[in-house]
Amino acid sequence: MASIKFYTKFTASISWILFFVSGSTLKKSRFPCLIEEIQKYIEEHKNVNYKTEYQIKLLSRRKNRNLKERLEEIIKQRSVHDKNR
């Protein structure tokens, strides 16, 4: 959970920096290490799918709902099986 918050804050900070800093001030020639770190981070994390807390809760609810439905179905099958005895 902490990594999600860090990632969100980090990407928001990068977005904020890139939005408010004009293109001429953030030149690769002036800040080569910073630009390289940003590009490396983006490349390493481009396929990572971070989920918000809301999305995690939805997935948990969906999983629980599926388990409840499965349990109800098993109980019905059991009662039908018991009636046939």
Instruction: Write out pLDDT tens, residues 20-38.
Output: 555 556 677 888 888 888 8
Q: Which residues of the chain have pLDDT under 70?
A: 1-26, 85
| Structure confidence at residue 42 (pLDDT) | 83
Predicted TM-score (pTM) above 0.75:
no
**Mean pLDDT across the chain:** 77
Cα–Cα distances (Å) from 59 to 52, 55, 62, 84, in that order, read 11, 6, 5, 38
Both tokens assigned to 75: 């109980």
CA distance 62 to 79: 26
Q: Which helix (H) or strand (E) holds 52?
A: none
